[in-house]
Amino acid sequence: MQTLVDVKEVYSTEGLSLWYDKKQALKDVNVSIFEKQVTAIIGPSGCGKSTFLKTLNRMVELEPKITIKGRISYRGNNLYDKHYPVEQLRHRVGMVFQKANPFPKSIYNNIAFGPRLRGIKNKQLLNEIVERSLKQAALWDEVRDKLNQDANRLSGGQQQRLCLARCLAVDPDVILMDEPTSALDPIATAKVEELVHQLKQQYSIIIVTHNMEQAKRVSDQTAFFLNGELIEQRKTSELFAKPFHKETADYISGRFG
């Protein structure tokens, strides 16, 4: 109980609604994301999980014809304030995509991409950042001898960890993950989950997943979405043990979705 009071909010949304053209994808969503915790987003396909995730780093604005209503505050600032510097936000909030998307560059240059954007040119410093990030992503031992090799020649699981390392290299505050293991085999999945577990010491993590077991294993909080609405968000153990809503109970027991 004591710790719960101390936990800080990283994100909170109030009445967040979003339309793609005329189609509403998020309906009046109120969520709180806590610092140094893993929040899992679950729900059936098309319920708006990815959309919600993309509102948090404003990537959703790259889609055409977007309308957004409501408020998202990140560390107390309103994100959709016109003057909020979106590039700065994305330096603080990293993202790992469903499909690993390394640049067609060397492993080294993939990791150094973010730091270079922020103006870091010092070779020594870049070397240190690359090594640290790859170690954090548990990839260092596998690639230390081939940093100049094309990143696309890594295996799928290695590529996904490379993408994680790439986003860690800018020393973010929050990491957004959109089904990061859906294309990976069980062993690679276990590695990524293990990483998530370690990384939450330093970062706040939000992970979209279709896998109930994964949500149970890695997350502290779970938010269940259905048709663009947030049905409930609670501590993971409580949500899975005693869901408040019938829809949640049906979904987590595999009755639909």
Written as one letter, the residue type at 51 is: T
| Residue 105 in contact with another protein, rule: CB under 8 A | yes
Name the minimum Å distance from CB 101 to another protein: 4
Would you say the C-alpha torsion 220, 53, 93, 171 has a positive or negative sign?
A: positive
Q: Is-contact 31 230, C-beta < 8 A?
A: yes
| Residue 198 in contact with another protein, rule: CB under 8 A | no
Q: Which of 54, 134, 132 is nearest to 97 (CA)?
A: 54
Q: What is the DSSP code string of 51-87?
A: HHHHHHTTGGGGSSSEEEEEEEEETTEETT-TTS-HH
Facing residues of 229 across strands? 226
Q: Is 215 exposed, middle or buried (0-12, 13-18, 19+ CB in 10 A)?
A: buried
Select from 63, 128, 185, 194 the one that contacts ligand ATP (CB under 6 A): 63
Structure tokens at 63: 């889609």
Name the minimum Å distance from CB 164 to another protein: 12
Residue span binding ligand ATP (CB under 6 A) among the ranges 19-27, 106-114, 136-144, 211-219: 19-27
Select from 13, 39, 50, 221 the one that contacts Mg ion (CB under 5 A): 50
C-alpha angle 224/173/182, rounded to 5°?
Answer: 45
Select from 39, 50, 109, 219 the one that contacts another protein (CB under 8 A): 109
Name the minimum Å distance from CB 10 to another protein: 17
Size of the site for Mg ion (CB under 5 A): 1
Q: Is 253 exposed, middle or buried (0-12, 13-18, 19+ CB in 10 A)?
A: exposed
Distance, in Å, from the CA atom of 143 to the CA atom of 162, rounded to the nearest integer, reads: 10
CB closer to Mg ion out of 50 and 133: 50
| Residue 89 in contact with another protein, rule: CB under 8 A | yes
| Residue 49 in contact with ligand ATP, rule: CB under 6 A | yes
CB closer to another protein out of 166 and 191: 166
CB closer to another protein out of 117 and 125: 117
Name the minimum Å distance from CB 95 to ligand ATP: 14
Q: What share of the chain is helix, strand, coil (3-state, %, to 5)?
A: 40, 25, 35
Written as one letter, the residue type at 21 is: D
88 binds, among Mg ion, another protein, ligand ATP, none (CB under 5 to 8 A by kind): another protein
Name the minimum Å distance from CB 175 to Mg ion: 16
Provide the binding-site residues for another protein, judged by CB under 8 A: 57, 59, 62, 87-91, 94-95, 97, 99, 101-106, 109, 113-114, 117-118, 148-150, 163, 166-167, 170
Provide the binding-site residues for ligand ATP, judged by CB under 6 A: 20, 23, 25, 43, 45-51, 63
